[in-house]
Every structure is written in structure tokens, then in C-alpha cells.
Amino acid sequence: MTYISKKQRWYLRFPIIGIAGTLIMGAIFSVSFYNKIVDLRYELRSQEFAIGEQAVRNAELKNSLYEVLDVERFESVALELGLVIERNPEYLETEVITVATTL
């Protein structure tokens, strides 16, 4: 029968404690890593949903913009406001002054 003295037990405790500590730290790290992954997946889904909502809103805004800028609508709005087409428009003109042509 083998008898292990106290000195020999001291050397056996550190590897066992080290392995147990490593396993516990690994388990804690794994759980926290899994929680981060779940949080990121949830955030990704909520951001994708928000992007979808913004895409729908963007399409609605474009639709309303195209309705406002419709050429046929311009004519009806002009008639409602009492605007007339100017046959001979006079544009603002300025004299062209050549400052320096050759240096």
C-alpha cells in the first residue's frame, strides 16, 4: 500500500485546482459569449425590421414627391392659381465685360 505524505499532497492540489479553475473560467466565458451572440442577433433583427420600415416610408415619400412633380398636375395648379403662359418672356440680362483676356 502506498502512503502519500503531506508534501506530496501539496503538489497534487495545484494541478487539480488549476484544471478546475480553468474549467470554471471557460464555462463563465462560454455563457457570457453566448449571451453576447444572442443580444447581437436580437439587435440585428430589430435593425433589419427598422430598415424595412424606413424602406417603406422612403417609397411612400417618393410616391408623394412624384405626385407633386407630375407635369399634368402643374397645369391644373397653374389654372387654379390663375397663372398664364408668357409668350415673350423678358429675361434679366447684364452686360458682359471682358476684364482680362491676355495676361
Average of per-residue pLDDT values in the chain? 85
Distance from the Cα of residue 58 to its chain's centroid: 15
Instruction: Report the distance separating Cα 14 and Cα 47, nearest Å.
Output: 48
Helical H segments across the chain, by residue range: 6-68, 71-81
Q: What is the pTM of this model?
A: 0.51
**Mean pLDDT, residues 63-88 taken together:** 85
Q: Which three cell numbers stand for residue 66?
A: 412624384
What pLDDT, in 10s, does the model give residues 43-71?
Answer: 999 999 999 999 999 999 999 999 888 88
Rg (C-alpha) for the chain, rounded Å, is 40
Question: Per-residue confidence at 24, pLDDT binned at 50, 70, 90?
Answer: very high
